[in-house]
Amino acid sequence: MDRMLVVVFDSETKAYEGKNALQQLASEGSIGLYAYAVLTKQADGTATIKQGGDAGPIGTLVGTSFGALIGLLGGPVGMLAGAAAGMGAGAGVDFLNLGVGEDFIDDVTKALKPNTVALVAEIEEDWIVPVDTRMEAIGGIVFRRALAEVQNQIREENVNAMKADLAQMKAEIAQAKADQKARIQEKVSQLDSKIQTQMRKIKDLNEGARLQAQAKADVLKAKAAAASARAS
């Protein structure tokens, strides 16, 4: 199962120890590791986001749940270029792409206090014991949530609602007085344009989801091949 993982530590040293443990678990085949980042919460509430050297396909995950969560917790994912970003939390977030509930975000942000550090990762795991055992031994507080693919459903429901409004407006045109028809027709044109825009976004999201799923599969395949090569 694909999950979002956030582990909060009281020091950067422990966070990087947790990152190494996560990479080791991936190498052992206990989990699949798609992407990760280490986020340090400063005393003034700003955040520094750092990327590891083998973080997975960060570029292909921009705009996905991982990118949106990083954006919410620390700043724009575009700054994940291996350096750091001193940004306020929430910048550039696409909330439809979070894929996790508000309660998860609330729990994480409460734990991520000033002068704490979070290891954020998108992983595949069949059971929670390996990660929990390693992270808790280091002193980390573990938060995880299965990813929900809800953004397209929300957009489609929104489009259906707009289509219902559009049908009603078109029906009203036939009954409207001459001086009202032009105003209603203008609203019809504006709403139709919005519907077409949303439908294009849904199409783009579907294609993006397909590419991201393939990218994740490629990551796991490459890691499995590397592990096999080391074992032979």
Question: Which pLDDT score, from 0 to 100, does residue 152 have?
Answer: 60
pLDDT of res. 150: 52
Q: How far apart are CA 200 and CA 206, in angstroms?
A: 10
Contacts 24+ apart (CB under 8 A), 190-196: 191/162, 191/165, 191/166, 192/166, 194/162, 195/159, 195/162, 195/163, 195/166
Q: How far apart are CA 198 and CA 24, in angstroms?
A: 42
Structure tokens that stand for 29 in this block: 């085949």
123 domain residue, yes or no: yes
pLDDT of residue 93: 46
Do residue 120 and residue 24 come from a single domain? yes
Note whether 28 and 63 are same-domain residues: yes
Judge if 137 and 39 occupy the same domain: yes
Within-domain flag for 6? yes
pLDDT in tens, 67-85: 778 777 875 443 333 333 3
80 and 97 assigned to the same domain: yes
For residue 198, what is the enclosing H or E element? helix 178-231
Quick check: 91 pLDDT over 60? no
Residue 131 lies in a domain: yes
Are 172 and 104 in a shared domain?
Answer: no
- Per-residue pLDDT tens for 194-210? 889 888 877 776 776 67
Identify whether residues 139 and 157 lie together within a single domain.
no
Residues 64 and 127 in one domain: yes
Whole-model pTM? Answer: 0.64
pLDDT tens figures, 153-180: 667 777 888 888 888 888 888 888 877 8
232 assigned to some structural domain: no
Pick the closest to residue 60 from 219, 198, 230 (CA basis).
219
Q: Which of 149, 136, 128 is nearest to 7 (CA)?
A: 136
Identify whether residues 9 and 85 lie together within a single domain: yes
Average pLDDT, the chain: 77
Residue 70: the pLDDT is 79
The answer to whether residues 126 and 2 touch, using CB atoms and an 8 Å cutoff, is no
Residues 33 and 128 in one domain: yes
Q: Are residues 9 and 80 in the same domain?
A: yes
pLDDT tens-digit readout, 206-230: 776 677 677 767 766 776 777 777 7
d(CA 173, CA 192): 15
How far is residue 110's CA from residue 4's CA, in Å, rounded to a whole number?
17
DSSP lists the bridge partners of residue 7 as 119, 142
Per-residue confidence (pLDDT) for residue 78, from 0 to 100 = 38
What's the pLDDT at 90? 41
Contact (CB, 8 A) for 41 and 86: no
Which of 112, 146, 180 is where one domain is finished?
146
Nearest by Cα to 18 from 124, 141, 144: 141
pLDDT of residue 222: 73
**Which of 146, 177, 207 lies at the terminal end of a domain, its last residue?**
146
Q: How many domains does the chain have?
A: 2
Token representation of residue 218 = 């490629």
Tokens at residue 135, please? Answer: 């992270």
* Residue 133 located in a structural domain: yes
State which residues form the domain around 97: 2-146
Residue 24, φ and ψ in degrees, nearest 5: -65, -45
Residue 154 is predicted with a pLDDT of 63
* pLDDT per residue as tens digits for the range 41-75: 888 878 888 765 444 444 445 446 777 787 778 75
Residues 120 and 10 in one domain: yes
pLDDT at 25 over 90: yes
If asked whether residues 81 and 102 sit together in one domain, one would say yes
pLDDT in tens, 104-153: 888 898 999 999 999 999 888 888 999 999 999 999 999 998 876 555 66
In a domain, 204, yes or no: yes
Residue where one domain finishes, among candidates 120, 146, 172? 146
